[in-house]
Structure 1
């Protein structure tokens, strides 16, 4: 702390953004935050944090040559207690995931009004994690999506069959919905259970529930 103030550094290669954000923080929360320094070189980020004793670093992800994600890793490896708010001018979910895995404590879009960064920054400094709602939804959807190893093994009809099993459809109903004989339906079910690596219909239904395949209306085709 600098006289009781939170020590912040900014790692961003856009000088105007850096200067504007520093001025904004000084005018809005200058009594609680002190911007101790900035750098436009991600490879210098960890050293800047060390020399200033920064408790929070604001890191832009799109910085050559090594990028903001690498800067976050360097900071966290040398100064694990330093909180990090990652900023990006893109909507690349993959980049957001990389930043969070590298140790970022929050992720926000730079397209937002700079004025809106103050509250999230203070939340990150207080120990909370901050994500934009759309990104959080996308990440959660990604977590619940069946892994590619399963999706690659199942064709469209098998995915539909899995959904019917998940909703508790009996064999005769499955046969009617899939336009096959009851005997064929039984064979298809057995083949699907084998591909999913489960012992019975209940386990297949549980797996479907985990991956969100039974969140659709009950009368909808899968």
Structure 2
């Protein structure tokens, strides 16, 4: 292998010697220096993947209502209380909210659970003029509709409250069977029914599933509910 010595002018003006090797020597030198560069940190390490952005926080579900007072009375039956109630003038010109009428007044009511658990409901009442209704006048629920689901301790008791208040109750509480089972393998059953609020929004009242006392039923000579076999 031949080795040649040459000299170049350094950027600072002083001579600098450079050794020029043959092709095989250069390849061998690269194989030796690359692992060394990795060991001493000269090589650029792979950058870690960026952390995913956190999901935004859902502040509340807001409903556009005709009469906030009626809606407040309805949701108070579920244990909600007023956290905020404010009315303001509204300038429809240049307002980014896509309302279908140039309403000049708005009332915002925020309801929260009396226990502090769960989410919040916003009631938004526009007036002067009142917005037009975009939803079809139908009892059936379809695309674009909203369903608010509430967890209740006793579906039958809540059902009686809404019946006495004259609410639009769609059916009595129905038994449903959960896909989960109790530790002993017995089925879990709950109750559910539906009601519409004063503006027609569909409300689902869901009593969490509980263990079915099959052993007690059999001791009395009874059979489990037919729904338990579904």
Larger radius of gyration: 2
Provide the TM-score with structure 2 as the length reference.
0.21
Provide the TM-score with structure 1 as the length reference.
0.22
